[in-house]
Structure 1
Amino acid sequence: MKPATAAKKLGIHLPAAPAEFQDNAISREEFKVLQDNPPEWLSELRRNGPHPRQVVAQKLNISIGGLNRSNISQALTTADITALLQAPPAWLVEERAVHAKARAEAKLAKEREAARRPKS
């Protein structure tokens, strides 16, 4: 698989990975080894970042769209995320509320759909 696909599946920011990882295709066997027994560089990236957008959004409990609206375009480290969570700026508080409302609406819609379906 391509390095970008492997990085996405591993939850890491590709530009922060070693050049050897970025430049070479990853076989399924190599990928499985990376998942089951991650090398130190992979463990370090997962622990301290920089993290890809989907991981940043998840850790901040907002959507990727919320990151876009907040003009967060660069990868953030765990320290950056922790600082934002300890002293949340107004945009983060607002985006977390928007995300919570969207999740609640999605849950309600799913429950309505389940109630409409005939029982088998």
Structure 2
Amino acid sequence: MTSHQTTQTMKPATAAKKLGVYLEATPAEFQEGVVSRTELNALQADPPQWLQDLRRTGPHPRPVVAAKLGISIAGLARGGVTEALTTDQI
């Protein structure tokens, strides 16, 4: 019996969440494809320029905005924040 290893892949939305970036701000090729576990690890270890820019200036997803402000996601909702915010807006 041989061991057959399959490559673990994830949807772009899942990968963006793990990277802490707003999916709609990522490049089209990232949004349209699938991301393997190996590719995700490579992005985390050596982020390309677009990922560095998104992490630095945004727009940031709500969990990142909440963490930067030191409040909960529910607190954002109560405050009326429903969209991604840039670093300048925060």
Fold shared by both chains (TM-score > 0.5): yes
**How big is each residue's C-alpha offset from its partner over 1:67-87, in whole Å with a ceiling of 9 and x where there is no partner?**
111110110000011xxxxxx
Q: Does 1:38 align with 2:47?
A: yes
Match of 1:24 in 2: 33
Q: Which residue of 2 aligns with 1:93?
A: none
In structure 1, the residue corresponding to 2:89 is in which secondary structure?
A: helix
Question: Structure 2 counterpart of 1:47, which letter?
Answer: R
For structure 1, list consecutive stretches of 5 or more residues without a partner in the other structure. 82-120
- 2:19 matched to 1:10? yes
Query: When the two structures are superposed, what TM-score results if normalisation uses the length of structure 1?
Result: 0.67
1:34, distance to aligned residue in structure 2 (A) = 0.3
Give the superposition deviation at 1:56: 0.2
Are residue 54 (structure 1) and residue 44 (structure 2) matched?
Answer: no
SS in structure 1 of the partner of residue 35 of structure 2:
coil
Asked if 1:64 is matched to 2:73, the reply is yes
Partner secondary structure for residue 88 of structure 2 = helix
Q: Which residue identity does 2:39 align to in structure 1?
A: E
Q: Which has the higher strand share?
A: 2
Higher relative contact order (CA 8 A, sep 6+): 2
Deviation at 1:32, TM superposition (A): 0.8
TM-score (norm 2): 0.89
Q: Which has the larger radius of gyration?
A: 1
User: Sequence identity of aligned pairs in percent?
Assistant: 63
Which 5+ residue runs of structure 2 have no aligned equivalent?
1-9
Corresponding pairs, count: 81
Greater helix proportion: 1
User: How far, CA to CA, are the matches of 2:36 and 2:67 in structure 1?
Assistant: 28
4+ runs deviating over 6 angstroms: none
